[in-house]
Each structure stands twice: as structure tokens, then as C-alpha cells.
């Protein structure tokens, strides 16, 4: 873990993050900042060659929260906890990625003071790289009929798209309407809006046809056979889709479930996706295996922070940020045991209870060995 107090740096960058996400919050918030709730509802065969879109049927259904989770996700204390439990490790954050343009290393001689300043600068860079993509509900796909003119239908042989290409208008606010072949004039659906915006204001890295790896059958085949890096898929999906796109939500949730089923949470450690993954499991009320992983990696403070965040989101209890949590191991274990006692009726917590028991035994064995 990094030796610097990165929580202070997190706070300094909260205003930058809120500015970047203000558009999302303004458009997605429905006026209710209440707590999100639950309910959600894999294939091993090689992918088929059909389908040109990013969707693709099959697989598990996506989890749909009953309320918009974005206002809760953007709260300062929620962000602070999610960043804190992301397992910040400088070597992992700045590691070479497949999309990096590799450069030759540069060596410099510097004083101790200059070295400390450089460490702070690199920590700020690491925090920038850990900026989490916003956790949003799926965008509304309904369209609004503006007028019906069946008398002009005989003159129409295909759909017509009318797009406002004025400068200074955001892609989400841009007026885009469709004239169907039956004469109906309506607003564009999300897919039509994306294609129209990409034509007039193309974004670098966005493909007109989504890559095959985002189709559900291909995605599950890649994951089950370990043919690609899950962080690469998540980075790529952030480029291709908006955070409230149905395909973005489907792909990210599929990977989060894969991580849980294979107990490989460390693969997302020190990445910008660990926080959204933890938030996703909190909304689903399914944090047992993430807690077990934290206990096994001797991250009791992170486990307790996750429990406090869980109680805050679902029960509106007072949230406790990490630096206010007791550092005493026994106190932290008691909080985890209290969580098991409180929620054992609605969740299967046998593995978590066993992990706490094993941790206590290891502490006892260490005490005997040192004594």
C-alpha cells in the first residue's frame, strides 16, 4: 500500500470529480436521493457468429435498482470510502497497459526534497487514474411522438433523421428527431441518438459497430476461458459506451459477477472499477464474498468500512468514514460479527462466519508463537 496519506489527496480531488460528473448527475437524478434497493435476478459453449450489435441475448439478466443510484454514488463520503477500499498500490496503478504507448524510461538525479514532491505528484496522478466511472441506471428508451402525418407516407421510402448540429450543444441535449416511413415524427431512441451523434461529432476510439467481445456469448466465452484481461474489457467498454447505456451496464455487471464467482477480487484492485464493483454488490445486498476476500487479505479496516457503507445505503444509518473507525483488531472483528448476527436471516453468511473464525484462530496461533 502507498505510504502517503492518500485520503487527503482524495478530498482535494473531490471537487474535480464532481465537476466532471455534474452533467450525469443533473440528467440522471430524478429528484429523489433516497437509497437504492435491490433485486436482480453463463455459458460455456463457443460464441456464435451472429449478431452485429453490442447486445446479444442469453446470459443472466442485469440487476435493476428500484431507484436511481447515481445521487447516492456521488455523495462525498460514499466516494471517499469506495476510493479507500480500492487497495491503492502505486505499482499496480501506473503499470503498463495494453493500450499504453510505451516510452523509454527516463532517469533523473534529485534531492530528497524533490523526491518527496515527485512522490506527491505521482500520488495525485494515481488518484486521477482511480477516478471511478459513474454508477447509473439504464437510460430511458421511450420515445415521444411529436406528430402523425400519414398523408406523406407514400412519399417516404426510408426513415429520415433530423439532427441539430449547433456548436456548444451537448450530445445528451441535442435535438434529434426521426420521421418514420408511416409519416410519424418522433424523438430518437438511445441507439439512434448515439449513431447520429457519432456521425456529426465522432469520438476517438468509438466503433460504429460495437466490438464482438461485447456480445454476451463472446463475452462469457472470453471470461470462462481466460482469454483476455478483464481490466482491458472494462477500459474498452468505458470508451465504447456511456455509463447509462444498457450494454455498458450488462458488460460491467457480467464481469462483476464473474469476479465474485471466481473469487478474484484482487484483479480489480488498484483500478477505477473496484469501487463501482463494491457499490454494485452493496446494492444487491451481496457483499459476503467481498468481505471474506478482505478478511483473507488482512484488510479488516476495508471490511468494516464496507459494512458501514452497506448500512448507510440500505438502512440510512450514520456513515463512518475510514479514519474514524477503530484500528483495534478485536473491535473490527466484533463489527463484522455484529453484521453477521443482524443479517443472517436474509443472507447466507456461513462463509463469512467461517472466515472470521479462521482469522481469530490465526491471531491466537501468532500470539502463542510469539509468546
CA distances to 55, 100, 309, 339 from 319, rounded to whole Å, are 38, 38, 6, 15
pLDDT at 121 over 70: yes
Q: Which residues pair with 186 in a beta bridge?
A: 145, 178
* 77, 321 Cβ separation under 8 angstroms: yes
CA distances to 177, 180, 183, 196 from 159, rounded to whole Å, are 10, 5, 9, 13
CA distances to 195, 245, 357 from 209, rounded to whole Å, are 10, 15, 51
Quick one: pLDDT at residue 3?
A: 46
Contacts of 349 (CB under 8 A, 6+ apart): 288, 340, 343
| Residue among 171, 233, 166 at smallest CA distance from 196 | 171
Neighbours of 243 (CB within 10 A): 22
> What would the pLDDT profile of 322-364 be if each residue is shown by its tens digit?
777 888 888 999 999 999 998 887 778 899 999 999 999 998 8
Q: Are strands 160-163 and 184-187 parallel, antiparallel or unpaired?
A: unpaired
Q: What does the pLDDT average to over 280-284?
A: 95
> What would the pLDDT profile of 2-38 be if each residue is shown by its tens digit?
444 554 544 444 444 544 445 444 544 444 334 344 3
Position 94 confidence tier, pLDDT thresholds 50, 70, 90: low
Q: Which residues pair with 176 in a beta bridge?
A: 163
> What would the pLDDT profile of 185-210 be if each residue is shown by its tens digit?
999 999 999 999 999 989 888 888 88
Q: Are strands 184-187 and 145-148 parallel, antiparallel or unpaired?
A: antiparallel
Sign of CA dihedral 124, 129, 135, 139: positive
DSSP string, 277-298: HHHHHHHTT--HHHHHHHHHTT
d(Cα 141, Cα 28) in Å, to the nearest integer?
13
Note if the pTM is more than 0.95: no
Q: In b/e form, how buried is each residue of 292-331, taking b as 16+ CB within 10 angstroms? A: bbbbeeebbbbbbbbbbbbbbbbeeeebbbbeebeeeeee
What are the extents of the domains in the chain? 1-99+109-137+210-280, 145-188, 287-371
pLDDT at 45 over 60: no
pLDDT at 82 over 90: yes
| Residue among 160, 161, 164 at smallest CA distance from 174 | 164
339 in the Ramachandran plot: left (φ > 0), alpha (ψ -120 to 50) or beta?
Answer: alpha
| Residue among 125, 39, 25 at smallest CA distance from 75 | 25
Sign of CA dihedral 206, 281, 228, 57: negative
Amino acid at each position: 500500500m502507498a505510504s502517503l496519506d492518500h485520503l487527503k489527496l482524495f478530498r482535494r480531488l473531490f471537487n474535480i470529480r464532481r465537476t466532471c460528473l455534474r452533467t450525469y448527475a443533473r440528467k440522471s437524478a430524478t429528484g429523489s436521493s433516497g437509497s437504492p434497493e435491490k433485486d436482480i435476478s453463463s455459458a460455456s459453449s463457443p460464441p456464435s457468429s451472429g449478431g452485429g450489435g453490442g447486445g446479444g441475448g442469453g446470459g443472466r439478466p442485469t440487476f435493476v435498482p428500484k431507484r436511481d443510484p447515481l445521487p447516492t454514488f456521488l455523495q462525498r463520503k460514499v466516494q471517499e470510502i469506495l476510493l479507500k477500499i480500492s487497495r491503492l498500490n502505486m505499482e499496480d496503478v501506473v503499470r503498463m497497459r495494453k493500450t499504453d504507448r510505451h516510452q523509454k524510461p527516463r532517469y533523473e538525479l534529485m534531492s530528497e526534497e524533490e523526491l518527496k514532491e515527485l512522490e506527491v505528484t505521482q500520488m495525485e496522478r494515481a488518484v486521477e487514474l482511480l477516478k471511478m466511472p459513474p454508477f447509473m441506471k439504464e437510460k430511458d428508451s421511450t420515445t415521444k411522438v411529436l406528430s402523425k402525418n400519414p398523408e406523406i407516407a407514400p412519399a417516404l421510402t426510408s426513415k429520415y433523421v433530423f439532427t441539430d448540429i449547433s456548436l456548444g450543444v451537448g450530445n445528451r441535449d441535442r435535438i434529434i428527431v426521426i420521421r418514420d416511413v408511416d409519416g410519424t415524427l418522433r424523438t430518437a431512441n438511445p441507439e439512434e441518438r448515439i449513431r447520429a451523434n457519432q456521425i456529426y461529432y465522432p469520438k476517438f476510439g468509438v466503433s460504429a459497430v460495437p466490438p464482438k467481445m461485447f456480445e454476451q456469448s463472446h463475452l462469457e466465452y472470453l471470461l470462462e476461458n481466460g482469454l483476455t484481461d478483464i481490466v482491458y474489457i472494462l477500459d474498452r467498454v468505458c470508451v465504447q459506451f456511456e455509463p447509462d447505456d444498457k450494454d455498458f451496464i450488462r458488460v460491467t455487471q457480467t464481469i462483476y459477477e464473474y469476479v465474485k464467482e471466481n473469487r478474484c477480487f484482487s484483479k480489480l484492485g488498484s483500478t477505477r472499477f473496484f469501487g463501482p464493483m463494491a457499490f454494485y454488490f452493496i446494492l444487491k445486498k451481496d457483499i459476503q464474498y467481498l468481505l471474506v476476500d478482505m478478511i483473507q487479505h488482512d484488510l479488516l479496516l476495508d471490511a468494516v468500512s464496507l459494512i458501514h457503507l452497506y448500512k448507510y445505503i440500505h438502512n440510512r444509518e450514520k456513515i463512518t468514514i475510514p479514519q474514524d473507525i477503530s484500528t483495534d483488531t478485536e473491535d473490527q472483528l466484533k463489527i463484522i460479527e455484529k453484521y453477521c448476527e443482524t443479517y443472517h436471516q436474509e443472507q447466507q453468511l456461513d462463509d463469512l462466519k467461517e472466515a472470521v473464525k479462521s482469522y481469530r484462530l490465526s491471531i491466537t496461533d501468532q500470539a502463542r508463537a510469539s509468546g
